[in-house]
Amino acid sequence: MIGPIASYSTIFVLINLAIAVAIGGLMYRQQRKEATFTVRVLTGLVLGVLLGAAMHLLYSGDASTAAIITTTNSYLDIVGTGYVKLLQMIVMPLIMVSIVGAILKLNGASELGKISALTIGTLLATTAVAAGIGIMMAKFFGLTAVGLSSTAAEVARGEYLQGTLASAKTISLPSLLLSFIPTNPFLDITGARKTSTIAVVVFSIFIGLSATGIAAAKPLLFASFTQFVDVAHAIVMRMVSLVLRLTPYGIFALIAMVVAESSYADILKLINFVVASYSALLLMFGVHLCLIAGAGLNPLKFSKKIFPVLAFAFTSRTSMGTIPMNVQTQTQRLGTPEGIANFAASFGATIGQNGCAGIYPAMLAIMIAPTVGIDPFTFSFIAQLIAIVTIGSIGVAGVGGGATFAALIVLSTMNLPVALAGLLISVEPLIDMGRTALNVSGAMTAGTITSRVLGETDMNVFNSDAELTTGEAEQRV
C-alpha cells in the first residue's frame, strides 16, 4: 500500500504545483498588460489565500494527506523564501549607498541630527502609545493567562523561553547602545548581529561625514567620490527594481503556505486573544493615520500608497526584508527624500516596533500578571510597563522572533513568569503577520512625518497616483 499512497501523494502535489504555476502565469500576464503594482500585489494575496485554504480543506484531515501540504509548501517556499532572501541581499548595500549619498547632499551634521532625532523620537513615542493601546484592549477583552491549559508543544515552548531568559536579562540600555557601534563593519554588512542594520547606518554616517570633511581641502577627490557613490547608487537601485518585480509572486507563495499550514482549531481556542490583538493593531493603524492627517497629509492616499508594502510585511513577517520596498515607496510614492526614507526604514526595523515591541509585550504582561497575584491595572504597574516597553523596544530584531525577544525583556524586567508566554504558540504566526505590518507602517509614518516637519516632502509626488518603478517598461524597451 505504501507505493500507491506515495504515488497518489505525488499526483496531488503535482496538481497543486500546476495550479500555482498557472496562477504565476496569470500574474505575469497582468504584469505584461501593465496592471498597477497595487493590483498585482492584491491579486497575489487573494489567490494565495484561496490556494492555501483549498489545500488546507482537502489535505489537512490526517497525517498521510497532510504530507501533501508539507511537500507542496517546500516547493512554494523556493519562491516565497527565495524572494525574501533576495530582498535581504540588497538591504545592506541599499542602506550604505543611500545614506552616504544623502549625507553628501546635507547641509552639515546639524540637519543629520534633526532627521535622527525626529525619526527615533516618533518611533519611540508611537511605541509608547501602542503599549497603552495593548493594555486597553487586554482590559476590554478581559485577557488573562489564569486557567489556560498547556499542550505538550506549549510546555516545550515555555521551557525554551525559560532557557533563553538568561540572555534576555543581560540586555540593558547601555549595552544596546554600545551594540550599535560597529567594531567590525564588514561583519555587520553580513547581518551577523541583531543590531547589524543600525551598525551599518552608523558606519555609513561616518563615511559620509568623513567625505564631506575633505570637500573643501580636496575638491577633486570629493567630486570623484561623489561620482562613485552616484554610480553605486544607480546600480543598487536597479537591483532593487529587478527584485521588486517579483513581489506579487513572493506574496502569493508566502500567504498560501501560511494559510495551508494554519491550525484553525487552535485559532478558535484562543480566538479572544486573536481578536483583541488585531483590534489593538487596527487601533494603532488608526493612530498612524491620525498623525499623518495631523501633518497635513491625506491619510487615505497614504494608506493606498503603502498597501503593497504592508501586504508583503504581513505575508513575510520580516520588517528587515521590507526595507528596500519601504524606501522605494517613501521616495517614489510619498515624496520623502531618500536620506530620510532610509533612516526611517533602517531604524524602524530595529527600534520602536509598534506591533512586536509595543502592543505584544504589553498585552502579555497584563495577561500574565494576575497569575502571580499582581493587579495589572494599577497606575504604578501601567506606568512602569509602558516605560519598560518603550525602552526595551530599542534594538529588537526586525525578523521573525523579534516579538518573543521583546516580550522576554519586558516580562523578565517586571519579574513575571516568562514560560507562560508559550501558551500562545499556536496563534503566534497569525498574530505576528499583523504585528509586522504595523511595525512597517510605523517606520513609514515616522519617515513621512519627519520629512513633512522638515519641509522636505515633495507634495507633487505625494498627491500623484504614481506607482512603484519596477522596471518592466524599461525592460520592454
Chain centroid to CA 200: 18
- Rounded-to-integer distance, Cα 395 and Cα 176, Å: 6
- Rounded-to-integer distance, Cα 259 and Cα 441, Å: 23
User: What fold characterizes domain 2-476?
Assistant: Proton glutamate symport protein (1.10.3860)
Query: Which residue spans within 101-177 are E strands per DSSP?
Result: none
Q: What is the mean pLDDT of the chain?
A: 85
Per-residue confidence (pLDDT) for residue 109, from 0 to 100: 62
pTM: 0.82
Angle of CA points 84, 407, 388, to nearest 5° = 120
On whether the CB atoms of residues 129 and 396 are closer than 8 A, the answer is no
State which residues of the chain have pLDDT below 50.
1-2, 473-477
- Rounded-to-integer distance, Cα 364 and Cα 396, Å: 17
| Residue ranges per structural domain of the chain | 2-476
On whether the CB atoms of residues 40 and 468 are closer than 8 A, the answer is no
- Strand pairing partners for 351? 394
User: Is 317 in a helix, a strand, or coil?
Assistant: coil
Read off the C-alpha cell for 340. Answer: 530620510
Nearest to 444 by CA among 80, 153, 105, 119: 119
